[in-house]
């Protein structure tokens, strides 16, 4: 059961996770804000992407997708490195004996794990259509521009500024989710003013932003 309307799923993508194309058995209910170029909606997803997406609601379902990809890339860094360090042939020609308990298994599974991880990260969900009505991404997929710098995603910009100013990235993320990417500098300002406040105070700030009156 979902809270929001489910996006249309093309036949060839049925039972697929919208984020990574692995088999899906969950739904992500994505709550849109006033500035989001699509209504609140639900997408099919796998359990891992669901957990990651919940952590990074971001400013649209597309930004959320980029954040999930980044998170997957971090989690599967080791598997992805296989493809950077080896070719499939090289791996087959390594001296690890196939019956060697440790490395034989590694040889067989490593390339497979690499391919799965690569495929999951390269997948780009299908277009957002709800009951036959398509929603344009309004440039949300083309990255994010701030202070004359182009970021791959709004998430990347959040991480960059959080690192530079030692901000709580999760707090910045939640503020941006409420005020929108167009008010990015305002979001950063709020995060900086509340740099070393308690968890409770941060929660209060977020609640006030949600109900400005
Ligand atoms: Zn997934």
pLDDT tens sequence across 42-71? 999 999 999 999 998 788 999 899 899 989
Quick one: how many helices (H) and strands (E) in the chain?
Answer: 9, 6
Q: Is the pLDDT of residue 129 over 70?
A: yes
Contact present, 60 and 137 (Cβ < 8 Å):
yes
Structure tokens at 47: 């359990």
User: How many A from CA of 86 to the centre of ligand 1?
Assistant: 26
pLDDT tens sequence across 149-187? 988 888 889 999 999 999 999 999 999 999 998 999 999
pLDDT tens sequence across 28-47? 999 998 888 899 999 999 99
Q: Is the pLDDT of residue 97 over 60?
A: no
Contact present, 176 and 184 (Cβ < 8 Å):
yes
Mean pLDDT of 140-148: 85
Q: How confident is the model at residue 92 (pLDDT cuts 50, 70, 90)?
A: confident
User: How many A from CA of 80 to the centre of ligand 1?
Assistant: 16
User: How many A from CA of 22 to the centre of ligand 1?
Assistant: 5
The residue ranges of every structural domain in the chain are 11-71, 76-121, 145-210
User: How many A from CA of 66 to the centre of ligand 1?
Assistant: 12
User: How many A from CA of 204 to the centre of ligand 1?
Assistant: 33
User: How many A from CA of 166 to the centre of ligand 1?
Assistant: 30
User: How many A from CA of 75 to the centre of ligand 1?
Assistant: 13
User: How many A from CA of 205 to the centre of ligand 1?
Assistant: 32
pLDDT tens sequence across 66-91? 899 989 988 988 888 877 777 777 77
Q: Parallel, antiparallel, or unpaired for β 26-30 and 133-134?
A: unpaired
Contact present, 33 and 1 (Cβ < 8 Å):
no
User: How many A from CA of 94 to the centre of ligand 1?
Assistant: 32
pLDDT of residue 43: 97
Q: Which residue has the higher pLDDT, 140 or 117?
A: 117
pLDDT of residue 102: 60
Write down the pTM of the prediction. 0.79
Q: Parallel, antiparallel, or unpaired for β 129-130 and 26-30?
A: unpaired
């Amino acid at each position: 059961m979902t809270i929001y309307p489910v996006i249309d799923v093309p036949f060839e993508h049925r039972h697929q996770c919208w984020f990574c194309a692995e088999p899906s058995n969950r739904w992500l209910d994505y709550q849109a804000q006033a500035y989001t170029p699509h209504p609140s909606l639900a997408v099919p997803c796998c359990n891992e992407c669901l957990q990651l997406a919940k952590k990074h609601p971001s400013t649209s379902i597309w930004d959320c997708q980029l954040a999930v990809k980044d998170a997957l890339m971090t989690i599967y860094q080791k598997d992805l490195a296989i493809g950077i360090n080896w070719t499939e042939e090289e791996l087959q020609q390594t001296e690890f004996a196939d019956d060697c308990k440790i490395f034989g298994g590694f040889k067989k599974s490593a390339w497979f794990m690499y391919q799965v991880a690569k495929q999951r990260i390269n997948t780009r969900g299908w277009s957002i259509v709800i009951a036959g009505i398509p929603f344009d991404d309004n440039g949300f997929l083309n990255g994010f521009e701030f202070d004359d710098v182009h970021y791959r995603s709004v998430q990347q910009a959040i991480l960059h500024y959080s690192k530079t100013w030692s901000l709580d990235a999760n707090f910045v993320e939640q503020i941006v989710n409420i005020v929108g990417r167009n008010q990015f500098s305002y979001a950063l300002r709020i995060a900086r003013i509340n740099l070393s406040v308690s968890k409770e105070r941060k929660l209060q700030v977020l609640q006030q932003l949600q109900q400005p009156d």
